[in-house]
Structures are given as C-alpha cells and as structure tokens.
C-alpha cells in the first residue's frame, strides 16, 4: 500500500512541484485546489498517473478525503502581493479557516501535517538575518497585514493543535523562491523582471533598489520541505537561500542574462515593503542536514528557459 498524501494548493507554483516530488518518492498524491490563483496547466502532466487524483475544492470550506491519509501539506493561499492585495478576505480565510479545517482532518486521520508559512511573518525586520526566534515587526492593519497575519495565525493554531491534541505538526517558513511554473503576472520581482526584459521593456524597481532579497531555486526548497516533513521537529524552520542581493543588482543581473536592451525604471516603494530579507538557515543545516545546492546563475538559467517559452509567444 502506497502512503497517501494530501497537498493543498496543488495547482500552484510550489504545490505542483511538491506533487511531482511525492509521486517520484512513491506516494499516492491527492491534489486539492480551488484554482483561485493556481493553474491546472501546472499539473495536467500528472492526470494520466493512476497514483494522482485531483479535487477542485476550497479548503476554507469543510474538507473531506475518503480513506487513509498519512500526510497533509497545506500550501493553499494567495502568495504574491498582487494576489493577496486583490483577495484580502480569501487570504485571511484560507490561513485561518482553511488551516483549522486541515488540522481537524489531520487529527481525524491521525496524519502528520506540514503548513507553509512564510518569511513575511518577520514583516519589515529589525533583525538581520532573520532566525526562527525573531518574533517579527508586522503592521497588522497595513495592506500586507492580511497575508502576514494569516500566516502568523496559521502558525499559532498549528502549535495549539500540536500542544493540545499531540498532533504531529511541521512548520516551514519559506523565503523568496523562484523557478519554472511561476505566474508571469504574479507581481513578484523575478517574474516581473524576466517578463519585462524578454519583452524589451524597462525593469520596474521600487524605491532606490537598495532593498535586499535572497532567492532560493524551487528544487532546493522542495528538498528542504521534504526533509522537514520527514523529520521529528515540530517548530518553525526557515528554508531559503542566505545569499543576499540588492534589487538593483538583481535587475542588472536579469538584463545581462537575457541580453536585453532594457533599462531600469524607478517607482515609489510600496507601503510596508521589507527593506531586507535573508534567512538564517542554521536550524535547517543542523536539524535537516539541508542547505541550497543550486546557485543563482544556474537557477536563473533554468528559469529563463521556462519564461522564454511563455513570454515570447505573447511578444510575437
């Protein structure tokens, strides 16, 4: 009998890569997505696989999965600023009610559950780099608060289920990740820069471009998540790449990589936009034996191939 895993947000960027990985590891995968921001194109290659099934469902409503369930990975949520600013209530509901429903399902099925948290729980950090012990600097009523607080609540209720019901829980705090299957229009810096460069448009940099980010290639992230799920550590773990770069330098890197004639266009910085973002991955190294393996130049090269196929047909 194959172990059965439920992956919510299965048609999204990370969810679809998780489906691939768990099928490769010999699991029976149940994908669930309401397709609010996910795309069936990301998982259509899995439909012929007899060990994959798909439920079109919103986890903010009651979740039922027949039969045994060994693992749940909760990745359902709008995850980019453009999405959660447009869908603030749905973002809060999936973080609160969706997580509650899935924790209840995990309890009923005696399944281990891993929830996808985010570096956004640190807000605009006053501590650098960010370790799991840092409590964050978040504006709960700002426009980004709907995502930040949804994820902070998600962590709180997950730990409550762990402490009260003895549920096997895992929490991953995901830092900036990139790779194939990112949406071109999702508003995040990498898809925006790559799309603009490939179309010969100016790259939009907010503020003076001195704010920093650290970018982790998707395959590295999925490996970290898999190791965390299979570990016995119930507390949050940062998974990301600690190699930091300014947004201005990153824009210049994308222009060089694409061979584009694009210039950089500067726009005002959005409210509560974090100035620095870099994970302290000491825990991931010590507990999971994990660290990123794929450098930015290799990861960007792989991602560019995907974006070329998506952007250039639009351009022609």
Quote the pTM value. 0.94
Tens of pLDDT, residues 3-57: 999 999 999 999 999 999 999 999 999 999 999 999 999 999 999 999 999 999 9
Sheet strands (E) in the chain: 4-8, 28-33, 52-56, 71-74, 112-118, 169-174, 177-178, 203-206, 212-214, 216-217, 236-239, 244-246, 264-267
List for the chain the helix, strand, coil content (%; round to 5).
40, 20, 40
**Highest-pLDDT range among 85-99, 186-200, 301-315:** 85-99
**Catalytic pick from 147, 161, 178, 217?**
147
Residue reference for tokens 């994908």? 31
Give the tokens for residue 100.
């509650």
> In the predicted model, is pLDDT for residue 314 greater than 60?
no
Instruction: Round to whole Å and give the CA distance between 80 and 199.
Output: 22
Residue in 60, 69, 72, 68 with CA at minimum distance from that of residue 8:
72
pLDDT at position 272: 62
Residue in 293, 14, 47 with CA at minimum distance from that of residue 177:
14
> In the predicted model, is pLDDT for residue 312 greater than 90?
no
Read off the pLDDT of each residue in 136-161 and give the average, rounded to a whole number.
95
Residue in 125, 217, 228 with CA at minimum distance from that of residue 169:
228
Instruction: Round to whole Å and give the CA distance between 147 and 274.
Output: 14
> Are 30 and 97 in contact, with CB atoms under 8 Å apart?
no
178 is catalytic: no
> Are 56 and 10 in contact, with CB atoms under 8 Å apart?
no
Which CATH fold topology does 179-213+243-278+294-315 show? UDP-galactose 4-epimerase; domain 1 (3.90.25)
Instruction: Parse the chain into domains and list their residue ranges.
Output: 4-177+216-239, 179-213+243-278+294-315
4-177+216-239 belongs to which CATH class?
alpha beta
Tens of pLDDT, residues 192-248: 999 999 999 999 999 999 998 899 999 999 999 999 999 999 999 999 999 999 999
List Cβ<8 Å contacts ≥24 apart for 159-164. 159/234, 159/235, 161/103, 161/106, 161/107, 162/234
């Amino acid at each position: 009998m194959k172990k059965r895993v439920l992956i919510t947000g299965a048609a999204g960027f990370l969810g679809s890569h998780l489906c691939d990985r768990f099928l490769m590891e010999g699991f029976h995968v149940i994908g669930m997505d309401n397709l609010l921001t996910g795309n069936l194109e990301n998982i259509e290659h899995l439909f012929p696989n007899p060990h994959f099934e798909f439920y079109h469902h919103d986890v903010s409503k009651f979740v039922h999965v027949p039969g045994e369930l060994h693992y749940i990975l909760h990745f359902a949520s709008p995850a980019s600023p453009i999405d959660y600013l447009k869908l603030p209530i749905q973002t809060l509901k999936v973080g609160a009610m969706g997580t509650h429903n899935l924790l209840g399902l995990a309890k009923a099925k005696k399944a281990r559950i891993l929830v996808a948290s985010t570096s956004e729980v640190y807000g605009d950090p006053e501590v650098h780099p960010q370790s799991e012990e840092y409590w964050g600097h978040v504006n709960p009523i700002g426009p980004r608060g709907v995502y930040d607080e949804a994820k902070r609540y998600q962590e709180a209720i997950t730990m409550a289920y762990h402490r009260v019901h003895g549920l096997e829980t895992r929490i991953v705090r995901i830092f900036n990740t990139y790779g194939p299957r990112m949406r071109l229009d999702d508003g995040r810096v990498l898809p925006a820069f790559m799309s603009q460069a490939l179309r010969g448009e100016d790259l939009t940099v907010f503020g003076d471009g001195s704010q920093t980010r650290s970018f982790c290639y998707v395959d590295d992230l999925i490996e970290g998540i898999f190791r965390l799920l299979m570990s016995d550590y119930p507390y949050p773990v940062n998974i990301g790449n600690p190699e930091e770069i300014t947004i201005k330098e990153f824009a210049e890197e994308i222009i060089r990589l694409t061979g584009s004639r694009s210039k950089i266009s500067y726009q005002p910085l959005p409210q509560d936009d974090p100035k620095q973002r870099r994970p302290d991955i000491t825990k991931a190294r010590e507990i999971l034996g994990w660290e990123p393996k794929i450098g930015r130049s290799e990861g960007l090269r792989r991602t560019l191939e995907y974006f070329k196929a998506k952007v250039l047909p639009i351009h022609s």
